[in-house]
Amino acid sequence: DRLGIFSAPRAWYTIKVAFGHPGPVAVLDGGLPKWTSSGYPLEDGLPVAATQTSELFKWERNVAASWAIESVFENLETNRVLMFDARSSGRFAGTAEEPRPGSRKGHIPGGKNMPFTELVTACPGGQMQPLEELERVLLSRGMPLGELRSNAADTAAVMLSCGSGLSACVIALALDLVGARRERWALYDGSWCEWGCRHDTPIMQTSEDGEEVP
């Protein structure tokens, strides 16, 4: 990841969580900036492709790991799952401009804000926070870590979203690092790119006193 910790967690989520790769999948903490600053070598060119397949190439999609927009609409009716948004506080509240033309400002009704930047030491160029700090930040934002670690159920208790399905995976990686079970959270893949650009989706903003307003 050329930005430290930013997009690499999405690759981890796609390979390990969404498609259940049977082998180990790791994220290089600090990405390319940390690698180069530590004095490790680089190479150019394309890697040599594998000439044989193995058991590690037999993946199956885990449908429960990602939500379509229909699942979000359903959750607005049931309030069964907590929804966390990884965007900045300004974008979540609707006070900052959206980077994509045509996207409305605000957040999904009932959602909680969990800016992914609080989980890294710097952005860009940072690493994941130490485990104790990850847990503190997650709990301070209302993340039900006890429930996510529990074996009492195998369905999602938390939905993660962001602008495009990318930075929400930083929250996902943090949850994994502090011991949350992967069956207990899911990613809304369309995220704000989809929800904010449609005109049949309800949107809320946050007032100065912290209340949700249309």
What is the DSSP-derived secondary structure letter of residue 37? H
Query: Could you say which DSSP state residue 179 is in?
Result: T
> Other CB atoms closer than 10 Å to residue 6's CB: what's the count?
21
Q: Give the span between the Cα atoms of 15 and 22, in whole angstroms.
A: 9
Tell me which of 162, 169, 193, 197 is the catalytic residue.
162
CA pair distance 169, 9, nearest whole angstrom: 5
Q: Which stretches in the chain have pLDDT values below 70? A: 52-57
| pLDDT of 51 | 72
8 A C-beta contact, residue 12 and residue 169: yes
Selection from 25, 3, 61 nearest residue 173 by Cα? 25
DSSP-derived secondary structure letter, 50: P
| HSE, side-chain direction, 13 A CA sphere, residue 211 | 3
What pLDDT sits at residue 23? 86
Residue 146: its pLDDT value, please? 96
Judged by DSSP in three states, 113 sits in strand
Check residue 56 and give its pLDDT: 64
Catalytic residue status for 123: no
pLDDT at 133: 98
